[in-house]
Amino acid sequence: MTAIAQRLAGLRGLFARGERAPEVPLRGRTYAAGSAPVRLSGFDQPLVWVAVALLAFGLVMVYSASIALPDNPRFARYAHHHFVLRHALSLVLAFVAALIAFQVPIERWEKLAPWLFVASLLLLILVLVPGIGKGVNGARRWISLGVMNFQPSELAKFAVLLYAADYMVRKMEVKERFFRAVLPMALAVAIVGLLLLAEPDMGAFLVIAVIAMGILFLGGVNARMFFLIAAVMIVAFGLMIALSDWRRERIFAYLNPWDEKHALGKGYQLSHSLIAIGRGEIFGVGLGGSVEKLHWLPEAHTDFLLAVIGEEFGLVGVLTVIGLFLWMTRRIMHIGRQAVALDRVFAGLVAQGVGLWVGFQAFINMGVNLGALPTKGLTLPLMSYGGSAILMNAVAIAVVLRIDYENRVLMRGGRP
């Protein structure tokens, strides 16, 4: 006790003379008394490596799924490596964007949230303007930027996520009052939905609706309100399907893809996806050995990449991909809960929103490929061909890594 008393007396003398306190070693690191840690643990490295593994495996599979496309007259003007080179360029751009996004403090993202939401609305309107929006297969969803075709709906997913988290933080005091807490957010999502349905892109609207509802629930909205919103959404999507002939046809094709009426129509992709996965059996036919990608399975490098993985790597390959996405979603949700526990509600809701986005979209894409869900135009996150999707997925993961980094700084007594 005498030594401790002498130490405290010495420190009081230093402070009285206005001198700086000495550095104190702690667990192998050096800290200056009264200051932030000099060295800090960085971000979640396992999460980074899982994301890199999915991106790298996706690049290989995009090449495998698209290498034979130029043999089709529709793609005759393209080289065999056209799609993989464009996908590699998208990965480079996504990496640069992710590095920039990681440098932005979460506090800044919170201030930018309303402006990003407005920007996404403007782009969703702009894509519908003839001469600006680019149409493919009857859908107008892209804006050509030269090096890539940008899809505003991908930005809208990220923007709605940030806006919903910011909205819940601002409306915490009225979350028990339905109209004041929920109606403005519901109106914002409805406006986004109407613009997406005009493209049309019901799949993106479904993902955005799930993200918004999930953040409302995680933000503490009354359970009765949540289930009422869920019921309204189910009825709304049911009416969209019932009032659209081609959407009804997709449901009928999903229920019986082998029927003669659907086998060469709406059920064509699903039936050939099931054939591809069936051919793969346990260990697959080997990388590059897929038969279904040879002009039997349309858009194999985008929406149905998992079917090619199933054919070439079998059940083992499919389960590996499912396991990686399951681990990633669980880890992202854990980072979000950790942020909330540190009283960083906005950061926590953003991280959990990203977990909902990646997990739900991966679930829908896998369900479609495996015949468990009706066909929807949703890509497999981080893996499928598509520049804007890869870009926004990478930015979202970078924001989660930033949240984790700031969590670690706070837990060690520093400031983000």
Mind listing the pLDDT tens digit for each residue in 334-348?
999 999 999 999 999
pLDDT category, 305, cuts 50, 70, 90? very high
Q: Is the pLDDT of residue 385 over 80?
A: yes
Beta-strand (E) ranges in 128-204? 133-136, 139-144, 149-150
What are the start-end ranges of the H helices in 68-127? 82-103, 106-126
pTM, whole model, 2 decimals?
0.85
Segments making up each domain of the chain, as ranges: 1-39, 44-411
CA distance 171 to 181: 6
Q: Virtual CA dihedral for 147, 379, 151, 195, nearest 10 degrees? A: 170
Instruction: Tell me which residue of 415, 382, 368 sits closest to 62, measured CA to CA.
Output: 382
Q: Virtual CA dihedral for 204, 373, 329, 284, nearest 10 degrees? A: -120
The pLDDT assigned to 14 comes to 42
Phi-psi region of 371 (alpha: psi -120 to 50; beta: other; left: phi over 0): left
Taking the alpha carbons at both ends of the chain, their separation in whole angstroms is: 36
CA distance 299 to 346: 38
| Percent of the chain predicted with pLDDT > 90 | 47
Mean pLDDT of 17-33: 40
The pLDDT assigned to 32 comes to 38
Contact 386, 379 (CB under 8 A): yes
Output 264 or 154, whichever has higher pLDDT.
154
CA distance 302 to 380: 8
The pLDDT assigned to 137 comes to 66
pLDDT category, 376, cuts 50, 70, 90? confident
Q: Residue 246 to residues 197, 255, 265, 375, 386: CA-CA distances in angstroms?
A: 14, 14, 11, 12, 25
CA distance 401 to 193: 29
Contact 370, 195 (CB under 8 A): no
- Per DSSP, 265 falls in state T
The pLDDT assigned to 41 comes to 53
